[in-house]
Each structure stands twice: as C-alpha cells, then as structure tokens.
Amino acid sequence: MNDSILGLHHITAIANNAQRNYDFYTRVLGLRMVKKTVNFDDPTTYHFYYGNEQGAPGTILTFFPWEGIGPGRNGTGMATEIGYSVPAGSLDNWVARFREAGVSMGEQAERFGERYLPFTDPDGLALTLVVSQQPDNRIAWETDTVRQDMATRGFHTITLTLQKIDATAKILTDIFGYRQLAQEGNRYRFRTDAVPEAAIVDLLEEPDGQMGRNAAGTNHHVAFRVANDTVQMAFREKILASGLQITPKIDRDYFFSLYFREPGGVLFEIATDNPGFTVDEPLAELGSHLKLPKQYAASRDRIEKALPVLRTN
C-alpha cells in the first residue's frame, strides 16, 4: 500500500456563469465533464468536475459556478496558476486554437527549462499549458477538434503565491514528502517522487504582495491525493501534530476529504482515490446526469428548478 501523498488529486475554482464555464472547458480546452452535481453547502449552485475519460486523480479541475458572484482577485494566500501538461510540439496549435476562439493568452516562454503558454479562462482564471521535460504517458480525453497530439494530459503544476514560503515549504517537505527541485528568482519548485505526473508545486514568494480575494476567476482550494482513507487519516494525525487544525473526514461521494489551511493561507484538501466517479454512473455516461448528494435526493424537483439551464449538446 502506498502511504505517500500521490501528487495532486483535484483543484477547485470559482466561476461566474455555468454555461460559459461548461462551453470553455469542454469545447475550447477539450476536457470531459465527468460529473455534474451540486455544491454540498449550496445545492442551488452546480459543482462541475472536468477531467480525462474516467476522471483520474491528477486530471480533475472542478468549479463552483456561482451566478453573478463577480470577479475575484489573485494574490497572496491562494493558488494562483494551474499548469496543464501537453505534448511536445503542440503549443503552436494551441495558440492558433485560442486565437480562433478569442481566448486571452500571453506569449510562449520558458520556465525551469520547460516551454509554456499562459492563458486565462472567461472569468480570468490563470492557466498555463506546459511541455514537460518528463514523459507524460497519461491518455488524454479527445474531442473532434482536440486530439491526442495536443490534448491536455492532466495537471503539471499548481502555483501558490505567498508572502513567505518557509512554513508552507515545511508542510510540503516534512509532511507531504516533497523535495525542493529548483529555484528561479522568487519561484521555488517542489516535486514529489511518489508519482510521475501531477507532481509539482511551485511556491511564488511575494513579501509585499496583496492578499487575494476569492470570487470568479480564482482558485478555491487545492486537493492532494492519497490512496485511501486509511492513509488519509494517518496524514490527519501528522497535521494535527504539527499544530495545525484540520477537519474530520468528510464523505464527498466520489472521495473522502480532509481540509486544513496551510500556514501561508491556502486551503488544502487531502482526498482519496476511492470510491471514484463511476460509483453512481457508468463510465460511458459520466457527466450526463445531474447527480445529487444523498441528503438532497428528496429535493430534486426544487433543486432542478433553481439551477440554471445547462445546454450540453
């Protein structure tokens, strides 16, 4: 049994409009919607999960599309950039695709010896496409216009922006088992050797940076992966022993979760592989139906009327 942190499990962000979010991530970026459900704490808001065919850990980007929430602000104390792994030679094709779709993007550049393309989603969420130096053998989800030769494989990196990195780095190295790999200016790269992909966390130190504000276009939390809830609870004890507060285990239907705020202010989650997204839908139908947490099953009619209409065809 692997008792390590296995890199990234999922990342959760906030959007302003459900339809626009769905259109961008499925039709422009070419991800699969693997689950359409609702926010556990606000069932009149969707919770979308995008990933590869089966929604494998390390590929899952989720959103709370709170209609009309307005824009947030990236800043210290939050995850500020999501990096997706793409095949070598694909960045020029992505530039052409983004131009055609009117996507806001920056120039191709290099970081830690890897080519990347920065862009933003319709709410301003900062993302990058990265050509990894390490082979990425994950099988991508394909669409008619985004094929294997350019499709995203899953996460490459998550960047956390912090006023000071030391205490956060200590969580990564002493508890999560990461090691510092490199430094470029005020960017510090950490990697776990427990998995080959979705294994990198960059810490960006900005001592005078302005605190971020969570709303549309910002990341809500970052979830790290463990094999099962036995391993998860062992990490809970380690985090408590470090002096941090952490929640009890919470059943999120598709994984079990623990939440704690690391010293730099970013909300971290530890999430399990089990039971996965096929627990309530067959693989071929993932994301096709509105799935409700058990406590809301009796309120389906009311919830469906309250949710925005989502056109998926």
User: CA-to-CA distance for 265 and 273, rounded, in angstroms?
Assistant: 25
Q: Which pLDDT band, with edges at 50, 70 and 90, does 1 fall under?
A: very low
pLDDT for residue 135 is more than 50: yes
**What average pLDDT does the structure give for the chain?**
97
User: Over the stretch 244-292, which tens digit does the pLDDT of each residue have?
Assistant: 999 999 999 999 999 999 999 999 999 999 999 999 999 999 999 999 9
Mean pLDDT of the region 40-49 = 95
Considering the chain, what percentage of its residues have pLDDT values greater than 70? 100
Q: What is the mean pLDDT of the segment spanning 188-200?
A: 97
pLDDT digits (tens, 9 = 90+) for 84-105: 999 999 999 999 999 999 999 9
Confidence category of residue 313, pLDDT binned at 50, 70, 90: confident
23: left (phi over 0), alpha (psi -120 to 50) or beta: alpha
Sort 62 into a burial class: Cβ within 10 Å, 0-12 / 13-18 / 19+.
buried
Interval 56-83: pLDDT, tens: 999 999 999 999 999 999 999 999 999 9
Q: Which CATH superfamily is domain 8-306 in?
A: 2,3-Dihydroxybiphenyl 1,2-Dioxygenase, domain 1 (3.10.180.10)
